[in-house]
Amino acid sequence: MNREGLKKKLGKRVVQLREEKGWSQADLARACKKDRQALEKIENGKVNPTVYTLYEIAQVLEVPLLELFRF
């Protein structure tokens, strides 16, 4: 898998986990203390988020960090 493919799969996984919680993109962004636009870029695979940003997202979604990579 190349870099672009990984970013897209990771973003889709964040969307899936967020939607399982019944949260909007704005809800997750607010809980992570991120801009909605920044979260949108992660979910759309447009950026390469830091490990710490992924950790924050996982914490807010109440899943282990590794769960973001189960795709």
Instruction: Sketch the domain layout of the chain as residue ranges.
Output: 3-69
Q: Which amino acid is at 23?
A: W
Query: Is the pLDDT at 71 greater than 90, yes or no?
Result: no
Binned at pLDDT 50, 70 and 90, residue 24 comes out as: very high
- Mean pLDDT over all residues of the chain? 97
Residue 62 has pLDDT above 90, yes or no: yes
Query: Which CATH number among 1.10.260.40, 1.10.10.10, 3.30.1540.20, 3.40.309.10 corresponds to the domain 3-69?
Result: 1.10.260.40
pTM: 0.93
Backbone angles phi, psi at 65, to 5 degrees: -55, -40
